[in-house]
Structure 1
Amino acid sequence: MAALLEGLVVAHLGQGIAVEAGDKTILCQTLRKLDTVAVGDKVLWSQSSPDQGRIEQILPRRSLLSRPSRNEKTRPVAANIDTVFVVFAVEPFCDFLLMDQYLAVCENRDINAALVLNKTDLPPSDSIEQELLGYQQLGYPLYRVSATAAAGLDTLKAALKDQVSIFSGQSGVGKSSLTNALIPDKDLKTNAISATTKLGRHTTTAATLYHLAEGGDLIDSPGVAIFGLAGLTEAQLAYGYREFQPLLDECQFNNCRHVLDKGCAVRAAAETGAIAMSRYQRFLKLREKMPLANP
């Protein structure tokens, strides 16, 4: 039996998976019995031909982000993420509902989360600044950057160093321009992966892991940066709101849904202003969007 080698999954290609092992990248297939391999996975692989390999085993993951798939199933987006950076901007608009959704997933997946306000040439309104202050008070770091003006990038690079990160956020907020600003030779690196694995550019990748010059890895996932609430229960959604966590055990009933339930400590805190009413209202909206949520 061929020796098993350790490698890092750096891209999902149309006809296989690019695995980085030492200073080379090799095209691998996977054993059918394996779960879906995600970019960021550490794997054991064997050589099947001079320039191809086969993934035999997925090594234990410290974290996993998934997105909704067909038949109410989920599909992995990226593995072994340390921090999700939620990118947003004043234009097209600040989607705080989507932001809360990302943060709730991170809280439950034990992944750090940070906020990145891009397009700082467009000043936020007072109401947006108030929301942002609320997130900072909850302990979420906020980075103000402009990808086009190259402002604030050094601070963001320092935050990305020595960890595995991924950008998420709605379309139009500048995730791609931000990635290009942080990885100036991104196209060269993508071409190198395609060339090494003998596949052309037409096999566009769903996600690619790049090594940052300053240290750390950034996973770029165009088109699949949205990971949904699939896999979260209603109780986990409530836990995903950081300010709710100390209150959950104070509700009168163990199965409190934090809607109109009698003796709900979370709703009482929102009504008295102890926690932000805007975040509580967004929790109710997300709860309605969840599969099988009760009215």
Structure 2
Amino acid sequence: MAADLLQGLVIAHLGQGIAVEVNGIIWLCQTRRKVDTVAVGDQVTLSEAGLLQGRIEEILPRRSVLLRPSRGDKARPVAANIDTVFVVFATEPFCDFLLLDQYLAICENHAFGAALVLNKTDLPPSPDIEQELRIYQELGYPLYRVSATTANGLDDLKQALNQQTSIFTGQSGVGKSSLTNALIPDKELKTNTISATTKHGRHTTTAATLYHLPDGGDLIDSPGVAIFGLADMNHNQLAHGYREFQPLLDRCRFNDCSHVSDKGCAVRAAAEQGDIALTRYQRFLKLREKM
């Protein structure tokens, strides 16, 4: 890095500007034309362009990137350098395991760690949900049981979020915002500080924003679930996205096995014999059809 360049962390998009944190201080930056689309969570180098104003010169290498489908065939980066995606769900509204499997398949294909967060544990548990949760835990996905309302289980979740960059996702109504507000009590103050420092007024809540958690770690808050779509995945990647399928994929008779009705399909045979969960295999078929 050149001596006159600074290094910073992208924490928010603000209209035409980008908020970059340099040594704990927020700078308002523009990007040079040669620089690709910058994402929240990116480490960047910048040159000084004025008082707490800069130009982003380069995006430093990313260890992971989450893409949002855009116009045409292009995909825009939304968040970068994520370590773990925490999929939030609850007994109410109805738990959509198809959507949960979709999120996990994307994580398996994009080098993200994945964990499950059952929110609203203050509500009566559902035997059906518990049965499915055992399957995910046997596959090695960590499970955190919490209540944003009563703060039950939040300490364990805070410990898991520590020392890494995380993002929450999940269907609407599961309490992601309540959970984020419980983990970041001064979230509103931090949001206003970003806007005031960069003189851009209140920044839009549709954009991703990175917050430093009080107990350590960073949480990227990104409203909406569209960023976890299947648009940039093919059928082979979907199959790879099911963790229990991975050791079986090379055992299918045909290299281009669809894992639906092909002869000699090791995945379908394993589901029929009870070696892997039939419910997960059936959801794979639904997602494949949906694609």
Q: For this structure pair, what is the TM-score category when the shorter chain's length is used for normalisation? A: over 0.9
The equivalent residue for 1:93 is 94
The equivalent residue for 1:43 is 44
The equivalent residue for 2:184 is 183
Verify the 8 A CA contact 2:171 2:225 in the aligned structure 1. Answer: no
Q: Distance in 1 between matches of 2:240 and 2:217?
A: 29
Please report the TM-score for the alignment, with normalisation by the length of structure 2: 0.96
For 1:62-101, what per-residue CA distance to the aligned partner results, in whole angstroms no more than 9, with x for missing partners? 0011122222432222100000000001111111111111
- What is the deviation of 1:123? 2.5
Q: Distance in 1 between matches of 2:32 and 2:258?
A: 42
The equivalent residue for 1:210 is 211
Which letter does structure 1 place at the counterpart of 2:261?
L
Comparing 263-272 with 46-55, greater Cα deviation is found at 46-55
The equivalent residue for 1:80 is 81
Q: Distance in 1 between matches of 2:70 and 2:125?
A: 35
Q: Distance in 1 between matches of 2:54 and 2:98?
A: 43
Which letter does structure 1 place at the counterpart of 2:285?
L
Residue correspondence of structure 1 range 140-159 to structure 2 within 5 A = 140-159=141-160
Q: Distance in 1 between matches of 2:245 and 2:156?
A: 30
- What is the deviation of 1:35? 1.9
Comparing 195-204 with 175-184, greater Cα deviation is found at 195-204
Q: Distance in 1 between matches of 2:225 and 2:202?
A: 19
- What is the deviation of 1:202? 5.1
Q: Distance in 2 between matches of 1:71 and 1:124?
A: 44
Q: Distance in 1 between matches of 2:87 and 2:204?
A: 27
Comparing 72-81 with 264-273, greater Cα deviation is found at 72-81
**5+ residue gaps in structure 2?**
none
The equivalent residue for 1:57 is 58
Q: Distance in 2 between matches of 1:123 and 1:22?
A: 46
Root mean square deviation of aligned Cα? 1.5
Which letter does structure 1 place at the counterpart of 2:106?
V
Q: Distance in 2 between matches of 1:289 and 1:16?
A: 37
Verify the 8 A CA contact 1:169 1:225 in the aligned structure 2. Answer: no
The equivalent residue for 2:221 is 220
- What is the deviation of 1:284? 1.0
Q: Structure 1 residues 205, 6: CA separation in 2 closer, same or farther (over 3 Å shift)?
A: farther
Comparing 66-75 with 246-255, greater Cα deviation is found at 66-75
**5+ residue gaps in structure 1?**
291-295
For 1:86-130, what per-residue CA distance to the aligned partner results, in whole angstroms no more than 9, with x for missing partners? 000111111111111111111111111000000012233211111
Please report the TM-score for the alignment, with normalisation by the length of structure 1: 0.95
For 1:132-188, what per-residue CA distance to the aligned partner results, in whole angstroms no more than 9, with x for missing partners? 000000000110000011111001000000000000001110000000000001111
Verify the 8 A CA contact 2:117 2:145 in the aligned structure 1. Answer: yes
Q: How many residues align?
A: 290
Verify the 8 A CA contact 1:12 1:205 in the aligned structure 2. Answer: no
Q: Distance in 1 between matches of 2:249 and 2:213?
A: 40
Which letter does structure 1 place at the counterpart of 2:119?
N
Which letter does structure 2 place at the counterpart of 1:196?
T
Residue correspondence of structure 1 range 268-287 to structure 2 within 5 A = 268-287=269-288
The equivalent residue for 1:293 is none
Q: Structure 1 residues 2, 13: CA separation in 2 closer, same or farther (over 3 Å shift)?
A: farther
Q: Distance in 2 between matches of 1:234 and 1:225?
A: 19
Q: Distance in 1 between matches of 2:220 and 2:234?
A: 27
Comparing 164-173 with 218-227, greater Cα deviation is found at 218-227
The equivalent residue for 1:126 is 127
Q: Distance in 2 between matches of 1:235 and 1:202?
A: 39
The equivalent residue for 2:246 is 245
Q: Distance in 2 between matches of 1:225 and 1:194?
A: 25
Q: Secondary structure at the match of 2:247?
A: helix
Which letter does structure 1 place at the counterpart of 2:207?
A
